[in-house]
Structure 1
Amino acid sequence: MYTPDRFSRNIFKELKEKKVWDLAKNIHLKYRRMWAGPDINVYIFPSAGGGLFSRHPGKSGVSFANMLFLFLPFEIEEAELEALFVHEYHHVCRINSQKKKLEEFTLLDSIILEGLAEHSVEIHCGKKFRGSWCTRYSKEEIKKFWHKFIKPNLKLKKNDSLHQKILYGERPYPLLLGYAAGYEVVKEFKEIKSFSTKISFIAPSEYFVDQTLYKLDSHSL
């Protein structure tokens, strides 16, 4: 996952001087209280370059039920750090609330997981801090991709390579396909029905799809 080098050690020193660990601790406490979320371990590592899912060059994260990892560049600002943390910690809260192991998540689960997390960023941090995938494709393009690539594969489990290819948008699929689709599905749902943060954690993935134009049928699940 991570290999240190001289460049990353220099970033580490700069992050330490900016007291990024203290900032992250305060942000963690803020959302743990606000969301009644789990007290997890948060690990911060220097990031040496741009990542596929970065909102800004070099910033990314990975989440699990009991921990999350943040990979940060030295120029990270507090607002950017908060946006990244909100996305990843929303994952943690939803993963724990769904009462299913992460490896049991289907493609539908993963897509909705990403969509809900990014809408949480939009709510708490503002639209300017959304990921690039939120505006990469038009609504019409997403609908076409959904029926062509996603809907026939919604039952794929997380350990299936095709699940990952569609979610991340690896060739021949459109870049960041699952992330973009998740954001659009949740966006459409919000236009129809409001929901609380608690619902975004506990409601099953199907709840956010069945009242939209992406509605499932017996052949999908």
Structure 2
Amino acid sequence: MGVIRTDKWLQAYVKSSGDTMNRQQKWFIEPLCSLFQTDDVDSLQTYLWQLGLFTPDQPVSEEDLSTWLQLHPWSIVKQEYERLRKKWDGPACKIYLLPLINEPPPLLKQLGEKTGITLSHAIVLLIKPTITKEQLRALTIHEYHHVCRLAYTKENEEKMTLLESICMEGLAEWAVKEELGKQECAVWTRYYDEASSIGWFDHFLKPSLYKEGRKSYHTLLYGDPNKGVPLWLGYYVGFKLIESAASKYTTTKNMLTVDAISLYKCSFYFITVR
């Protein structure tokens, strides 16, 4: 458990020769198959590309490797993970740091060109070697909070309700605010004003709060302007929901084990929209 030294994967990949597709599979995808419980290397590779992993046509160079090693994000994440685990009495997990694609899609650019994948027992962080220490700490806080929350709820993607999803995202980013200050919070926490979000909550989210399966309400979480759903709607509402409920529970650690319905009933969304 702990931070996996993927710097060794990076060095092996850069120093090896041959087709970049096969090299990526050997040094980055195959070692993750057991983590994602699959033997289908091609499908896992495609899935990770969709989430932002660098592609073979934009490979990691010697210069990139040098920048990575100078920053040494593994030690930053290790320190943050150990601090948070002690503070929150959190579970042990594995953390993998992998290179983000050179030219991320618009949504990833809005996230500061960094993102994470959280499983119940592991985290995969996709980052650029130019990430700042505080950005990396914020990403680690957010994703490790998910691990802690999942350890309590025992939820999975197929059964998780929309309400739990928006609370989970709000709680994780509230933890970033508590640990680092609002200046390190994700851009979606500042996208809108509360007055507008109340109407959107009533129209878009409230009818589906208890819908199960993250894939079934993906649009409500991330938004889709083409369908009239504001960008990052579920994330923004989740943060504001937790912000309004926080006065009762005081700290992130106290809220970790509070169920989503209780958090919702303490928020102004429940009080204002009935």
Question: TM-score with structure 2 length normalisation?
Answer: 0.72
- 8 Å contact 1:94–1:200 — kept in the other structure? no
Map 1:148-159 onto structure 2 (within 5 A): 148-159=203-214
Unaligned runs of at least 5 residues, structure 2:
1-47
- In the alignment, which residue of structure 1 is the partner of 2:237? 181
SS at match of 1:174: coil
**Residues in 2 aligned to 1:23 and 1:95: alpha-carbon distance in whole angstroms:** 23
Unaligned runs of at least 5 residues, structure 1:
none
SS at match of 1:175: coil
Give the partner amino acid of 1:49.
Answer: E
Higher relative contact order (CA 8 A, sep 6+): 1
Give the partner amino acid of 1:106.
Answer: T
Q: Which runs of 4+ in 1 moved over 4 A?
A: 53-56
Query: Is 10-19 or 135-144 further displaced after alignment?
Result: 10-19
- Match of residue 85, structure 1, among 130, 140, 148: 140
Map 1:1-221 onto structure 2 (within 5 A): 1-2=48-49, 3-5=54-56, 7-10=58-61, 11-47=64-100, 48-50=102-104, 52=107, 57-161=112-216, 163-170=217-224, 171-172=226-227, 173-191=229-247, 193-215=248-270
Name the structure where helix makes up a greater proportion of residues. Answer: 2
Q: Could you tell me the percent identity over the aligned residues?
A: 27
Q: Deviations over 1:26-82 (max 9, x none)?
A: 221111111111111111111123452566531111111101111111211111100
- 8 Å contact 1:115–1:182 — kept in the other structure? yes
Q: Tell me by how many angstroms 1:200 deviates.
A: 2.1
**Residues in 1 aligned to 2:199 and 2:124: alpha-carbon distance in whole angstroms:** 34
**Residues in 2 aligned to 1:58 and 1:79: alpha-carbon distance in whole angstroms:** 14
* Number of equivalences: 215
SS at match of 1:103: coil
Give the partner amino acid of 1:152.
Answer: P
Q: Tell me by how many angstroms 1:153 deviates.
A: 0.6
**Residues in 2 aligned to 1:80 and 1:55: alpha-carbon distance in whole angstroms:** 13
Question: TM-score with structure 1 length normalisation?
Answer: 0.89
- 8 Å contact 1:86–1:120 — kept in the other structure? yes
Change (3 A) 1:184 1:159: closer
Q: Tell me by how many angstroms 1:85 deviates.
A: 0.4
* Structure of larger gyration radius: 2
**Residues in 1 aligned to 2:241 and 2:212: alpha-carbon distance in whole angstroms:** 20
Query: Is 59-68 or 207-216 further displaced after alignment?
Result: 207-216
Query: Is 100-109 or 181-190 further displaced after alignment?
Result: 100-109
Q: Deviations over 1:150-178 (max 9, x none)?
A: 000111112443x1110111241110010
Change (3 A) 1:167 1:98: same
- 8 Å contact 1:65–1:92 — kept in the other structure? yes
